[in-house]
Amino acid sequence: MKEAPRSPVYVTQPALAPLEEFIPYLQQIWDNKILTNGGPFHQQLEQELARYLGVPHLSLFSNGTLALMTAMQSLRITGEVITTPYSFVATAHSLLWNGIKPVFVDIEPDTFNIDPRQIEAAITPQTTAILPVHCYGRPCNVEEIEEIAANYGLKVIYDAAHAFGVQHRGSSVLNHGDLSVLSFHATKVFNTFEGGAIICKDARTKRHIDHLKNFGFADEVTVVAPGINGKMSEVNAAFGLLQLKGIDAVLAARAAVDRRYRTGLRDVPGIECPQVPEETHPNHSYFPILVQPGYPLTRDELYEKLRAAGFYARRYFYPLISEFPMYRGMPSARRDNLPVAMRLSLQVLCLPIYPDLPAERQDALIELILSV
Ligand SMILES: *Cc1c(COP(=O)(O)O)cnc(C)c1O
């Protein structure tokens, strides 16, 4: 007799603070009747997040995609922007929504991030900025990217949706570039149900971004730009304050899951667990493995085998952004321009990682990979 199937294990499951601890926050909102527009919880979360992350200024948004779009607006980015195909579609979509042309360049095999050597070759007179992604929370080659940006007079906006709490050489990776953009979506390490933020270096830039996310209003009668509605609500901000209290425990639990995978999958021929560089303090937002020719199954065969057993690993990032219909006709989207990204998108599998993943379920998953 086969055992009854266990409940499915998804690639992630949000960490949620206890509901009863959230009620007092809701009571305050019901008492003061301030639901949005930069209310007290919104202001408090901006301050506490900036302090926790070790960044100078932070502006909250209703989601990461609107934050990315507003980041481009705030720096008046136009023309062409050099970016990576190996990311979630929102990275490139934020450019198209601004009438900006994405120019895809290949990634580095060991970091999954944009290859600085490819950036220079893709610069044209229309290039105004670089939009790299700290993929899986692994820092980009920030020093080389900044050198290129300085040489060519380009802006750098980091899509840091995976990089909450990540440190690079002893300080927050979010302090690199002109702006960094976070997502607090339910699937991310720190979530506010939906949410996001732009990190910037000075108070004037923050003020401008704050205007842009509120229709362009600078005061009751002054509209300084064709802004959008990107504001985070008080409910989301209050929840973020509560979530922030538990974030260190969340990160520690993720680290333990990461260690268990690395030990369990240490000597499996054809399965590689890419290391995080020494100078990085990671957040364990994802656990990518590479399924290589030495393994008896292809990546897709392993993906199906795990699914059949109730383990929903994800092929992040397959297909590449450059494969989607709105991008694939672009010259930079050609597959022979992106060989490393193409190869990795066919080999990578992100295994389930989240604080409440039971060790016994994780061991069962590891056993499935070993038993092929
Ligand atoms: C999640 C994510 C986004 C979008 O964030 P939302 O808050 O869901 O809008 C953008 N870029 C990357 C790399 C992401 O993973």
Q: Is 31 helix (H, G, I), strand (E, B) or coil?
A: helix
Phi, psi of 302 (to 5 degrees): -65, -40
Q: What is the reported pLDDT for 4?
A: 52
Closest-lying ligand 1 atom to the alpha carbon of residue 195: 7
> Distance from the CA of 367 to the center of ligand 1, in angstroms?
32
Give every CB contact of residue 190 below 8 A, 6+ residues apart in sequence: 164, 165, 184, 240, 243, 244, 247, 250
- Identify the residues whose C-beta falls under 6 Å from ligand 1: 63-65, 87-88, 90-91, 133, 159, 161-162, 183, 185, 196
Q: Measured in angstroms, how far is the CA atom of residue 112 from the centroid of ligand 1?
A: 16
Question: Taking all residues of the chain, what is their mean pLDDT, rounded to a whole number?
Answer: 97
Residue 1 has pLDDT above 80, yes or no: no
Instruction: Indicate the burial class of 2 (C-beta count within 10 angstroms; 0-12, 13-18, 19 or more).
Output: exposed
- Residue position matching structure tokens 């003061």: 32
Per-residue model confidence as pLDDT tens digits over 113-172: 999 999 999 999 999 999 999 999 999 999 999 999 999 999 999 999 999 999 999 999
Q: What pLDDT was estimated at residue 166? A: 98
Give the percent of the chain with pLDDT over 90: 98
CA of 352 to the centre of ligand 1 (A): 18
**Parallel, antiparallel, or unpaired for β 196-200 and 179-183?**
antiparallel
Cα(287) to centroid(ligand 1), Å: 17
3-state secondary structure of 308: helix
Residue 296 pLDDT = 98
* Residue 6: per-residue pLDDT: 74
Does 247-371 carry CATH code 1.10.260.40? Answer: no
Task: Tell whether the model's pLDDT for residue 5 goes beyond 70.
Answer: no
Quote the tokens at residue 242.
Answer: 């509560």
**Beta carbons of 137 and 163 less than 8 angstroms apart:** yes
Task: Output the pLDDT for position 115.
Answer: 98
Q: Matching CATH topology for 19-245 and 247-371?
A: no
- Calculate mean pLDDT across residues 328-337: 98
- Strand 80-83 vs strand 127-131: parallel, antiparallel, or unpaired? parallel
Q: Whose CA is nearest to atom 10 of ligand 1?
A: 90
Task: Classify residue 272 by burial, with Cβ atoms within 10 Å: 0-12, 13-18, 19+.
Answer: middle
Q: What is the pLDDT of residue 47?
A: 98
Atom of ligand 1 nearest to the CA of 67: 9
> Is the pLDDT assigned to residue 2 strictly greater than 70?
no
pLDDT value, residue 178: 98
* Ligand 1 pocket mutation, candidates 65, 107, 173, 182, criterion most atoms within 8 A of CB: 65
* Overall average pLDDT of the 305-325 stretch: 98
Mutate to test the pocket of ligand 1, among 69, 183, 198 (most ligand atoms within 8 A of CB): 183
Q: What is the mean pLDDT of residues 294-313?
A: 98
* Distance in angstroms (rounded) separating the CA atoms of residues 235 and 82: 36
Backbone angles phi, psi at 314, to 5 degrees: -125, 145
269 CA distance to ligand 1 middle (Å)? 33
From the CA of 132, how far away is ligand 1's center (Å)?
13
The mean pLDDT of 311-321, rounded to a whole number, is: 98
Mutation to probe ligand 1, out of 134, 135, 185 (largest number of atoms < 8 A from CB): 185
Q: Cα of 31 to ligand 1 centre, how many Å? A: 33
The pLDDT of 239-248, averaged and rounded, is: 98
Cα(296)–Cα(73) distance, integer angstroms: 48
Render pLDDT for 171-189 as a digit per residue (tens, 0 to 9).
999 999 999 999 999 999 9
In angstroms, what is the span from residue 339 Cα to ligand 1's centroid? 24
Mutation pick for ligand 1 pocket among 91, 135, 166, 317 (CB with most ligand atoms within 8 Å): 91
Closest ligand 1 atom, residue 196 Cα: 7
Ligand 1 atom having least distance to the Cα of 64: 7
In Å, what is the CA distance from 116 to each residue of 73, 132, 260, 317, 370? 24, 10, 33, 20, 36
pLDDT in tens, 194-235: 999 999 999 999 999 999 999 999 999 999 999 999 999 999
Looking at 3.30.70.20, 1.10.260.40, 3.30.70.940, 3.40.640.10, the CATH number of the domain 19-245 comes to 3.40.640.10
Question: Hey, where are the domains in the chain?
Answer: 19-245, 247-371
- Of ligand 1's atoms, which has the minimum distance to the CA of residue 162? 15
Instruction: Evaluate whether 46 touches 67 at the Cβ level (below 8 Å).
Output: no
98 CA distance to ligand 1 centroid (A)? 17
Grouping H, G, I as helix, E, B as strand and the rest as coil, residue 51 is: helix
